[in-house]
Amino acid sequence: MAGLGGRTAVVGIGQTEFSKESGRSELQLASEAVRAAIDDAGLAPSDIDGTVTFTQDTNDELALMRSVGMRELRWTSRTPFGGGGASATVEHAAAAVASGAADAVVVYRAFNERSGHRFGQPAGGAAPAFNLYRPFGLDTPAKIYSLWFQRYMHVYGLTNADFGRYSVVARRHAATNPNAWFHGRPITLDDHQASRWIVEPILRLLDCCQESDGGVALVVTSAERARDLRQRVVTIEAATQGHLADGDVMFNYYYDDIARFPEAEYTARQLWETTGLTAADIDVAMIYENFSPVVFYQLEAYGFCGPGEARDFIAEGNIDLDGTIPVNTNGGLLGEAYIHGVNNILEGVRQLRGTAANQVAGAERVLAAAGRSAVVLGNG
């Protein structure tokens, strides 16, 4: 669905607070976020006839339907690939609406990732493929991804302090975002360098995304219908995914050159070819970052800078609020919350509505990139 051409739109967004101890069930978090998104759109629960979430979400569609008050569903789907499927949720929703399979689809993601099942802990009872890697000590996401990042550091001569410059920007943006867990708590590069090692010499604590409790949701319908609803129209200009034969969601070690992100490059190529846009046409980039180096890979994959240039690009201030391409204006997953990247899409909608806490003046197009999926939102 790379060539959606603005036929569908995000008309409602909603969320809970982001915390480390929500004190309520994941179903309640999902229900609160979904009701908020429907209300934000000026719709009723009975207007929703489709849902999309992650394969990893614990919230059953029928339980959510009863909890929220949706009466009839004719479209349900789920996206795999963890955070890499974040923007794919929008692709699924837009595809359903554009094809006539549904009229109004709610995308939701909710979990107690800090107070419940913690993704950052050693994997237990995971897929059998993990057994191939556990003997080498690769049992947590930080260890698994670091083996990939280490090659990038070697090829381009980076140190962990270079990654820290992104973390500082993310926390600076979070510090002025009231929704962020780290609101009012910026960091310096010295703070980053003083944080403990998670995987030496690649990732420190302040390179790692949060573990968060919370829920987020958004509503997608046709652009035509959106014009009669409550909010400023935010169109879905393109949404697509990129998966390659030699790839792996986590153990992505099997390319000839792992100082690159081939899936992100393929996704970018689809977006630019089908829309006629380039990186220069994007005003804000919301980039999924379970770990700070992922931003470096994706800045290069989408053409904001050349291979190996992300270090200097960030150091020169290009991703700051007043830079050439502001990145993760909400603080991202390091600074705001880790709700599997969908909270970044909500921030993209706010930027185009003109209601973001860290508003970028004149924002007309936002890229929400999640490695192997991405969406371009436009100011309809």
Strand 50-54 and strand 75-79: the pairing is parallel
Tell me how far apart the alpha carbons of residues 277 and 89 are, in angstroms, rounded to a whole number.
22
Tell me how far apart the alpha carbons of residues 133 and 265 are, in angstroms, rounded to a whole number.
26
Instruction: Give CA angle at 109 (184, 51), nearest 5°.
Output: 145
The residues with which 218 forms a beta bridge, in sequence order, are 13, 107
DSSP string, 246-266: T--SS----SS-TTS-HHHHH
Question: Which class for 322: exposed (0-12), middle (13-18), buried (19 or more C-beta within 10 A)?
Answer: exposed
* Residues tagged active-site: 288, 338
Of 240, 277, 309, the closest CA to residue 79 belongs to 240
Cβ pair 359, 351 in contact under 8 A: yes
Tell me how far apart the alpha carbons of residues 260 and 257 are, in angstroms, rounded to a whole number.
6
**Residues 6+ positions from 275 with CB-CB distance below 8 Å:** 2, 3, 237, 238, 376
Question: Which class for 58: exposed (0-12), middle (13-18), buried (19 or more C-beta within 10 A)?
Answer: middle
Cβ pair 49, 75 in contact under 8 A: yes
Whose structure tokens read 């629960």?
45
